[in-house]
Amino acid sequence: MNRSSGVLMPLSSLPSPHGIGTMGKAAYDFVDFLKAAGQRYWQLLPLVPAGAGDSPYSSFSTFAGNPYYIDLDRLVKDKLLRPKDLVGINWGRNPEQVDYEALRLQRPAVLRRAFERGRDPLAAEVEAFRQENSWVDNYGLYMALKTHFKMLPWMDWPEEDIRMHRPDAVRRWTILLHEEIEYHIFVQYLFFRQWNALREYAHKKGVEFIGDIPIYVALDSADVWSEAYFFQLDEKNVPKAVAGVPPDPFTADGQLWGNPLYNWDAMERDGYGWWIRRIEGAEKLYDVIRIDHFRGFASYWSVPYGELTAKNGVWMPGPGMKLVGVLTSWFHELDFIAEDLGYVTEDVRKLVWDSCMPGMKILEFAFDAHGDSDYLPHCIPYNATCYLGTHDNNTVMGWLKDIGKRDRDFAARYMHITEDEGWCWGMIRTGMATCADLFVVQMQDLLELDEKARMNTPGTPSGNWRWRMLPGKADKELAKKLYLYTRTYRRV
């Protein structure tokens, strides 16, 4: 990467009149804001449908787009909806919080109206989209089956043949649920049509997208249901072991994520084709791909299925450069970022080095007055991405309330924090000045927001992924201020 910078802003956090950020006017305005501010990158959270806990890191599909992000006003302009279709709908009362329950209740009915109006006029375009995206038929069937079985996870579907994805059952249910399958495919067509238009606009403005690939996929997903061979499941498709991270000073029980683990031997025999298809899908969305929990490629924490905590897991070897080398050679023109945070061991450091991918450095982790940290700004190398914090961290103003006085005093002294500049902009200046090729700042920190704007608290099952920016906050004055910092440190 060339020396540059960007802003981490979830699409869901954009303002809109329909309860959640979308690919509508506010997204185009945000591209304009980034352009005016001298930013090259817009970093997003995964754009996939959110699953358990409304998390974009636990999705029904690694390929599909989130229907909530389809802009309804654009559907009105496209004559797929009428203005009266959007009248009187309660999308939630708090414009600074996504109300996911309201979305679950209201969105499907609105999108089905668009489907009824558009299915015939757009049939040829939808069929072309279907031919270009081999995953979408399987996803459409999976979502149709989930709807039929009252949204139960596939592991709890009452009919064994389709639960086990047996070919005869797949053919039979495809016929039975044809109408519902067509609806889900149509929705995906709408998502990608709007996304492609937004991405084309951003590229014309010189703005590119950084997107996240969670290392694991959800057990309740079309991916695991249809390709169980590639996961550590038994003959009944029940997981043998699941993913997590071990106990640490902050979490005595560790974190039990519950994702099924990969059958790396089966993936290697297949030439890692599953991962190649996955990155090909992500390449249709993003210009740079951040691989979440990259350390799991070196070694991963395996917890026996059925455990209530992650304490009784064991470290197991991952595929290492056998997989990473395939991805970097197959996608040699695509930039990657390795999320190498957490419990970093020598095998992880070696894999990041061998991959040549930039790792991540978090300034909120840097300032320990009792010892030295690799995240201190003077330690950050060129081949790195520097953040104040990510979506899993507190905002800077919230972080200040959590750290001790000695650490705070050390950080203030190191970064020359002044009352006039403030902590957020003092840390932005510090991050901009590092040698790291890429610097990324959360939108919440540009706005100097406190812990109420935190996006996610790892290990908590609910209440996350809700923050939204109020209209008018990403204004010309903020863009001008950010541009000045960006230009000063030669990142324009």
Domain coordinates in residue numbering, the chain: 4-488
Decide: 120 and 161 in contact? Cβ < 8 Å. Answer: no
The beta strands (E) that lie in 364-476 are given as 384-387, 438-442
* 89/342: higher pLDDT: 89
Does 362 have pLDDT greater than 80? yes
Residue whose tokens read 């072991």: 241
Instruction: Please state, for a pLDDT cut of 90, what percent of the chain lies above it.
Output: 95
Give me the CATH code for the 4-488 domain, please: 3.20.20.80
The confidence score (pLDDT) of residue 371 equals 80
Does 396 have pLDDT greater than 90? yes
> What confidence tier does 173 reach under pLDDT thresholds 50, 70, 90?
very high
Decide: 317 and 262 in contact? Cβ < 8 Å. Answer: no
Token pair for 478 = 């903020």
What is the per-residue pLDDT across 8-64, written as a single tens digit (0 to 9) for each? Answer: 999 999 999 999 999 999 999 999 999 999 999 999 999 999 988 999 999 999 999
Q: Which helix (H) or strand (E) holds 204?
A: helix 178-204
Q: Which helix (H) or strand (E) holds 459?
A: none
Decide: 391 and 417 in contact? Cβ < 8 Å. Answer: no
4-8, strands of its sheet edge to edge: 335-338, 288-291, 208-213, 41-43, 4-8, 438-442, 384-387, 359-362
The confidence score (pLDDT) of residue 45 equals 98
pTM of the model: 0.97
Measure the CA–CA gap between 187 and 182, rounded to whole angstroms: 9
Decide: 211 and 244 in contact? Cβ < 8 Å. Answer: no
The beta strands (E) that lie in 36-113 are given as 41-43
Instruction: Please state, for a pLDDT cut of 70, what percent of the chain lies above it.
Output: 100
Bridge partners of residue 213, in order along the sequence: 291
The confidence score (pLDDT) of residue 344 equals 87
The confidence score (pLDDT) of residue 325 equals 97
Does 250 have pLDDT greater than 80? no
Active site residues: 292, 339, 392
